[in-house]
Amino acid sequence: MRSRYLTNVVVVALGSFTAVASMAFGVPVFTWLMFGVGIATLTIAAPAVTVMTRGRPQRGLDAIIGLLGVCTIVASMVFAGPTITWLGFAAGVALIAFALAGLTLHELSTERVVHSFEVRAPEHEIAVSAR
């Protein structure tokens, strides 16, 4: 299993948790949950940007996800009230969107490998059918 897949699945889970928690919890609790999700997102995305085998598009998505993690951390400490609720919800949805884009890139690269294999009949069957 590739690291691209695993990190994108974790980011989808973090984004889903953030989006749901923004509407389920009160502002004081959600502020700290949002701060924690921002740190977790940054922890996952920052090292992934330096791994060259992940491919340029995935590293770009990792950089955007890391930047979103930084923005989430800052927003959780700067804003309050309904603003933090909606910023957290938007950050969760954005994390889901970027991670799903990464999962789609992963699937397309796997699909390309599978379709590059050529199916051929064994040589003895070709000789028999030519007669």
Non-local (6+) Cβ contacts of 97 within 8 A are 15
Which of the residue ranges 37-46, 77-86, 117-126 would you say has the lowest mean pLDDT? 117-126
Alpha-carbon distance of 95 to 12, in angstroms, equals 6
Alpha-carbon distance of 54 to 62, in angstroms, equals 10
Alpha-carbon distance of 92 to 27, in angstroms, equals 15
Tokens 């993690």 sit on residue: 69
Three-class secondary structure of residue 32 per DSSP: helix
Alpha-carbon distance of 57 to 14, in angstroms, equals 21
pLDDT band at residue 57 using 50, 70 and 90 as cut-offs? confident
Q: What is the mean pLDDT of residues 27-50?
A: 91
Alpha-carbon distance of 20 to 93, in angstroms, equals 10
Question: For the segment 60-116, what is each residue's pLDDT rounded down to a tens digit?
Answer: 888 999 999 999 999 999 998 999 999 999 999 999 999 999 888 877 765 555 555
Q: Which two tokens stand for residue 110?
A: 């796997």
Q: What is the mean pLDDT of residues 111-131?
A: 58
